[in-house]
Amino acid sequence: MALLIACSSRAEQFAAEIRALEPGLNLRIEPNVGQAADIEAALVWQPPPGLLARLPGLRLIVSVGAGVDGLLADPTLPKVPLVRFVDPDLTGRMAEYITLQVLYHQRRMSEFRDLQTQRVWRYLPEPAASDVRVGLMGLGVLGRAAADALRPFGYRLRGWSRTPKTVEGVVSFCGPEGLDAFLAETDILAVLLPLTQETRGLVNRGLLGRLSRHGRSPLLPGPALINAGRGGLQVDRDIVAALQSGELYAASLDVFETEPLPAASPLWQHPRVVVTPHNAAESAPAAIARYALRQWRAYNSGAALDHVVDRTRGY
């Protein structure tokens, strides 16, 4: 039996951590697949399309990412259990990222940064957290962790998901029928949805135009968007247009339709846009190695696997 690591980045780091935990394991690192028939499990991030279909003995796929849209886009992906990465390391980092960006917009930091570039010392009134409504799109593992991290500040939390949810301190909306009411009650929108056929392109001009403009936070100059889900959820040019028209005041974007973000994108230079390189929650290799081995041992002992992707839902 062999475990294949097929990752477009950090493959050697994952291998080093796995070797440290299980020195006897027969480990292969793509492109050095060796005898394909030996490989029973694969740890993957952006593997070459079609690669996994060429492994006749494959029984388990472990995704380095929490999001599996890229894997599911490969029509040849073998129909063996696919588990996604869900771990306190990733979840904690994402909760930090969302909290950081929510605070940034609540505390009007894009304006203070702008004033700093002009060497202007100016007071700006700022809303209390309890006057700001944060709308979490996606109330899964990461959306709920973001809610837990934001709650102690006193933000007024709203959440939107496919099915109804009960989360402490969060007013829950669901489905297409709940979307307008959710947006109308949102000052800062934080997107933590998976990319599926239903969610692709959802964060477009029409949606941004429905964000609250008349909320409880008159001190905020306008709505702000945070997207740490997937770039395919948003329409980049619509975000630029909404920023220009004033429908959107500011944004923090970790993901983009094209990654890396092309140098020509106006988002790079926009004074009220924070650009990060899809690193909102880049997990430590040790955590990923531990998780992959735990799932592989569970599979071999016949125990239930955690976080198996539902291929019909697409997440």
Mark whether 230 is an active-site residue. Answer: yes
Contact with ligand NAP (CB under 6 A) among 105, 133, 156, 230 = 230
**88-106 and 109-117 helices cross at what angle (nearest 10)?**
60
66 binds ligand GLV (CB under 6 A): yes
- Its sign, for the CA torsion 259, 272, 183, 185, is positive
Q: Degrees (nearest 5) of the Cα angle 75, 76, 80? A: 110
Q: Which residues, numbered 296-315, are part of the site for ligand NAP (CB under 6 A)?
A: 315
Interface with ligand NAP, residue 138, by CB under 6 A: yes
Q: Least distance in Å: CB of 12 to ligand NAP?
A: 21
Torsion of CA 253, 258, 264, 265, to 10 degrees: -30
Is 278 a known active-site residue?
yes
Mask 83-102, x = binds ligand GLV (CB under 6 A)? --x-----------------
Q: Could you tell me the smallest distance in angstroms from the CB atom of residue 104 to ligand NAP? A: 16
Tokens read off for 270: 């926009």
Before 31, cis peptide (omega within 30)? yes
**Residue entry with tokens 């001009």:** 205
18, 60, 65, 215: which one contacts ligand GLV (CB under 6 A)? 65
228 binds, among ligand NAP, ligand GLV, none (CB under 5 to 8 A by kind): ligand NAP
231 binds ligand NAP, rule: CB under 6 A: no
Question: From residue 88, how far is each of 91, 221, 286, 288 by CA, in Å?
Answer: 5, 35, 12, 11
In DSSP terms, which residues pair with 309 in a beta bridge? none
> Smallest distance, Å, CB 150 to ligand NAP?
15
5 binds, among ligand GLV, ligand NAP, none (CB under 5 to 8 A by kind): none
Closest CA to 273 of 101, 103, 138, 88: 101
Residue 99 lies near ligand NAP (rule: CB under 6 A): no
Alpha carbons within 13 A on the beta-carbon side of 271:
12
Q: Least distance (Å) from ligand GLV to the CB of residue 31?
A: 23
Q: Which of 10, 210, 237, 278 is catalytic?
A: 278
| Binding-site member from 70, 194, 223, 285 for ligand NAP (CB under 6 A) | 194
How many angstroms separate the CA atoms of 10 and 23, rounded?
19
Closest-by-Cβ residue to ligand NAP is: 140
108 near ligand NAP, judged by CB under 6 A: no
13 vs 9, 85, 223, 285, 287, CA distance in Å?
A: 9, 17, 40, 6, 11
Catalytic residue among 84, 105, 144, 230: 230
Under 8 Å CB-to-CB from 151, ≥6 apart: which residues? 157, 168, 169
Residues of this chain that interact with ligand GLV (CB under 6 A) are 65-67, 85
* Catalytic residue set: 230, 278
Residues of this chain that interact with ligand NAP (CB under 6 A) are 66-67, 86, 90, 94, 138-143, 160-163, 192-196, 198-199, 228-230, 254-255, 278, 280-281, 315
